[in-house]
Amino acid sequence: MSWIAVVPFAGWALVRLSGFEPDWPWVPVVAFTPYAAAGSLIGMVLAWVLRRRTAGMVGIAAVVALGLTVAPRAFADGNPAANGPVLRVLAANLMVGQADTGRLMALVDQVRPDVLTLQELTPKAMLRLEAAGLRETLPHAVTRPLPGVGGSAVYARHPLTAGETIQLGAFGQARAWLAHPGGARVEIVSVHPCAPKRTGRQPCWQGGLDALPRGGGELRLLAGDFNATLDHLPMRELLASGYRDAADVMGRGLTATWPQALGRTLRSPGVAIDHVLADSRMAVRDFRVLELRHTDHWPVFAEVRLP
């Protein structure tokens, strides 16, 4: 019993720290690493209660390994020196355009974003939002609405120049260059790679994350539904290229953003797959997870200061 309690978590820790990411079922499962970290503690305690010293030592190793991976997300990090203008960013997945238009407009009024990135933006949803006054508040836009789940957009207070859309399968990720009145030029990406499947290989998911621009060079900010947590290898590689996760920086990296309960439907334990990734030269000043009706994602908001 003691080995049954510790070996799965020890194996989880080994794969998570190995720098290798298997396909199914690991890609969907690794999103729940924070829960595995908590489970490893229970397994370790059980092994010691049963007085199985060797199993207990393996349990301790698993607890330490998974704890060091997960725990830093609950503590705020420092920031680089940044004296530029502030940029406020809101990202929302509209769940095939079904999200509550009035509530989203209320969020825009509440948090006053300079940039809004939208995912799963359908043509009808875009018409409703613009009829509700979105273009009056955020007059500049690069929009790629599509039927189904693949549409996306970037709205902003400041002028935008369209970039080349990342298109993989049915999923489009809108890109735009924002000209801030303070003089900065920042690329904004409305992130939405396809979700990893529950079986088989994940080329669409992997390709959608790999296609995102790496950090360094021009200032960039990636915001939206990444369909990945900080435990997925492509996400860790993206961060290592020169980004910081705003939630992690603010000590809120364990706050779930999906799935939001819809009515009385049964939902799985929450995971953090919606992110704002800021260039590592930017200072993160705020991060929040907000509420939006009729979608399965919680919107995310971040405030950053440009260098």
Which pair of tokens denotes residue 292? 């939006």
Q: What is the pTM of this model?
A: 0.94
Q: How far is 194 from 227, CA to CA, in rounded Å?
A: 7
Do the strands 86-93 and 115-119 form a parallel or antiparallel pair, or are they unpaired?
parallel
Counting residues of the chain whose pLDDT is more than 90, the rounded percentage is 84
State residue 106 phi and psi, 5-degree precision: -65, -40
Give the pLDDT score at 271.
97
Question: How many CB atoms neighbour CB 147 within 10 A?
Answer: 12
Local confidence band at 265 (pLDDT 50, 70, 90 cut-offs): low
Mean pLDDT of 259-265: 72
Q: How far is 171 from 119, CA to CA, in rounded Å?
A: 10
Q: How far is 23 from 85, CA to CA, in rounded Å?
A: 42
Give the pLDDT score at 242.
97
Q: At what angle do helices 2-17 and 33-49 cross, to 10 degrees?
A: 140
DSSP labels, 277-290: EEETTSEEEEEEE-
| pLDDT tens digit sequence for 79-128 | 999 999 999 999 999 999 999 999 999 999 999 999 999 999 999 999 99
> H or E segment at 119?
strand 115-119
Give the pLDDT score at 37.
96
The pLDDT of residue 164 is above 90:
yes
> H or E segment at 34?
helix 33-49
- Which residues have C-beta within 8 Å of that of residue 272, sequence separation ≥ 6? 229, 230, 247, 253, 254, 255, 256, 257, 258
Local confidence band at 264 (pLDDT 50, 70, 90 cut-offs): low
Which pair of tokens denotes residue 56? 């207990």
Which pair of tokens denotes residue 258? 């999906």
The pLDDT of residue 268 is above 80:
no
Counting residues of the chain whose pLDDT is more than 70, the rounded percentage is 98
Closest by alpha carbon to 211, among 189, 186, 230?
189
Q: How far is 208 from 154, CA to CA, in rounded Å?
A: 18
Which pair of tokens denotes residue 211? 């296609």
Residue 250 CA to chain centroid, in angstroms? Answer: 14
Question: Given the structure tokens 């290798």, which residue do they identify?
Answer: 20
- Which residues have C-beta within 8 Å of that of residue 208, sequence separation ≥ 6? 166, 168, 171, 173, 192, 193, 194, 227
DSSP labels, 146-160: -STT--EEEEESS-E
| pLDDT tens digit sequence for 7-62 | 999 999 999 999 889 988 899 999 999 999 999 999 999 888 888 889 999 999 99
- Which residues have C-beta within 8 Å of that of residue 214, sequence separation ≥ 6? 238, 241, 242
Torsion sign across C-alpha atoms 109, 110, 112, 118 = negative
191, 246, 236, 148: CA torsion to nearest 10: -20
